[in-house]
Structure 1
Amino acid sequence: MSPADHREVNRANWDARADVHAGPGGYPLDAVDDPSWLSSVVRFDLPRLGDVAGRDGVHLQCHLGLETISLARLGARMTGLDLSGRSLEHARALAERAGADIDYVRADVYDAVEALGGRRFDLVYTGIGALCWLPDIKRWAQVVAALLRPGGRLFVRDGHPVLLSALGVVVRDDHPDRAQQPWLSGPGQATPALELPYFETAEGITWRDERSYAGEGEVAAPESHEWNHGLAEIVTAVMDAGLVLELLVEHDSAPWDALPGLMTPDDAGEYRLTDRPERLPCTFTLAARRPGRGEGRA
């Protein structure tokens, strides 16, 4: 399947997911009615994010835009970009409801520079569950670098590639390459194991999920294509694109129940392994900066 075909399959998948995520049991959309509300993902990283007030920001792969709205409430002038037109319909309605002045643009992330008219930004933000939809992490990093002004900053929190390698064992029961799981001796006795690719592969992984991670309805276009990227691959891509790494933190928690039956939530809505959470990196936060004019790379 060509990259263009992958893109159309994933666009249809996310158009279908958008209605499910905006429906019963989906994203906490009513929360935006509280003018002090910030998404749990943005709130988690506030100490690392720094002051974004007065900054021009773009949220790549923004989906329904909860993090986009949160960054706008922190004072950034935000633009959201997503491949899914249906997602952006919900995002625009939600931004209006929240009283947030956000410009939304429909485009594939690889086409972002052209789609945004060559604009440059002080902040490029990417949130949970974004990088796995990209077949080429180096190309993504080059797009990010092209979007940043000198001195501008990339900020990412996403699923850790080790966690994404383990998802196939516990969650993806229908995957044809999955092992038979001889270690599963009964309910609650499963142990995560690395079964899916850790490193980026050309072919990626094809899923067929009629249920999404949020919402109660069925996903009308259930097929999707995803790619994992090793942590070193992500960091190297960012550095090769000319950015200076400022921050890399690995976390033992994720803002969703990534391994159902094996994780326990805390009061902030972060999930960790119930048994010995120190075994599994679940997410990471990365920040990098485009050097200013006349400033060389460190």
Structure 2
Amino acid sequence: MTEITPSHTSRDTQQSPQYVMDNLASWNERAPVHANSPDYAVDKFVTDPDFLSDVVRFDMPLLGDIAGLRGIHLQCHIGTDTVSLERLGASMTGLDFSSASLAEARRLAERSNAATTFVEAEVYDAPAALDGQKFDLVYTGIGAICWLPSIDRWARTVAALLHVGGRLFIREGHPMLYALDDENPDAFVVRYPYFEQPDALIWEDAGTYVETDHVFTATTGHEWSHGLGETITALLNHGMRIDGLVEHQSLPWNALPGQMKRGEDGEYRLTHGAEQVPLTYTLQATRIR
């Protein structure tokens, strides 16, 4: 990826801000490519009724029993994790702002006989888009909140979606990982912000995280980092109790090319210095007020 000059993003505008339009164009173009990639294993969902995504399989030991829960999966993309959660016994709704992603998600649910439903909306608009419904579980998969400018607004959204006693489960890329220079294969070098900034990091990226020959035309992406303390504080400020925080030494994509190796579980791990850098974290919280 090539970084270009950060620009300020307006958060209070009648029209969709530029970051939404650029990110939406990117995800709309990438959704069918991802659905056709063996990395997402869509066909396995169809042929094997017990098949789960690698992401959800990784989450299961901490996620625990979710049978009978009513859940909402924010930023669900093409729905493989959402359908996997449904297969674990939850009644799931997936929400995403990309119509192309949701088209693939609905096709997956239909082909795999899943009862999962999907709603098109931006994350911050989720409470209104869902008519104020309350859920037992808010699930956010990996690589999601980096596309959002305000972690406080995200935490407020999460709390608004949960009834009192409801639970948040999120596994996310670690902000320390996101601060590292991913173009340096020889050392860990801090290059990007660890803490949330008002301006996005804007990237020009002609590729995606699955192998493909597709030539992309939507290449601009806007991302933000959110420090771990900022994320926890935002949840506390919106009536959530922190129940667990685990930092992991693996993640499901090759975030530091030249420094990582993929395991049989689909997770990438550092070939050296694994004790120095956390790669992902799992955070769990409960709404108490």
Same fold (TM over 0.5): yes
CA RMSD of aligned residues (A): 1.4
Structure-1 residue corresponding to 2:170: 156
Q: For 1:1-298, what aligned pairs fall within 5 Å after superposition?
A: 1-3=9-11, 4-24=17-37, 27-33=40-46, 34-166=48-180, 169-171=181-183, 190-216=186-212, 217-291=214-288
| Alpha-carbon contact 2:146-2:224 (below 8 Å) kept | yes
CA distance in 1, matches of 2:10, 2:225: 18
| Alpha-carbon contact 2:179-2:192 (below 8 Å) kept | yes
CA distance in 2, matches of 1:66, 1:192: 32
| Alpha-carbon contact 1:20-1:26 (below 8 Å) kept | no
Greater shift after overlay, 218-227 or 57-66? Answer: 218-227
CA distance in 1, matches of 2:66, 2:161: 17
| Alpha-carbon contact 1:27-1:215 (below 8 Å) kept | no
Structure-2 residue corresponding to 1:177: none
SS in 2 for 1:37: coil
Shift of 1:25: 5.3
Tell me the amino acid that sits aligned with residue 171 of structure 2. R
CA distance in 2, matches of 1:35, 1:72: 11
TM-score (norm: length of structure 1): 0.89
Overall identity of the aligned pairs, in %: 51
CA distance in 1, matches of 2:24, 2:39: 19
SS in 1 for 2:137: strand
CA distance in 1, matches of 2:175, 2:189: 13
CA distance in 1, matches of 2:186, 2:62: 34
Unaligned runs of 5+ in 2: 1-8, 12-16
Unaligned runs of 5+ in 1: 172-183
Tell me the amino acid that sits aligned with residue 16 of structure 1. E
After superposition, the C-alpha distances for 1:201-250 in whole angstroms (9 at most, x for unaligned) are 00110011110111402322111100000111111111111100001000
CA distance in 1, matches of 2:217, 2:92: 31
CA distance in 2, matches of 1:162, 1:95: 35
Shift of 1:255: 1.3
Tell me the amino acid that sits aligned with residue 98 of structure 2. S
| Alpha-carbon contact 1:155-1:285 (below 8 Å) kept | yes
| Alpha-carbon contact 2:69-2:137 (below 8 Å) kept | yes
Q: How many equivalent pairs are there? A: 274
Structure-2 residue corresponding to 1:176: none
TM-score (norm: length of structure 2): 0.91
Shift of 1:24: 4.3
Shift of 1:27: 2.3
CA distance in 2, matches of 1:270, 1:15: 25
SS in 2 for 1:170: coil
Greater shift after overlay, 271-280 or 147-156? Answer: 271-280
Shift of 1:153: 0.2
CA distance in 2, matches of 1:67, 1:23: 16
Shift of 1:73: 0.1
Shift of 1:271: 1.1
| Alpha-carbon contact 2:54-2:266 (below 8 Å) kept | yes
SS in 2 for 1:8: helix
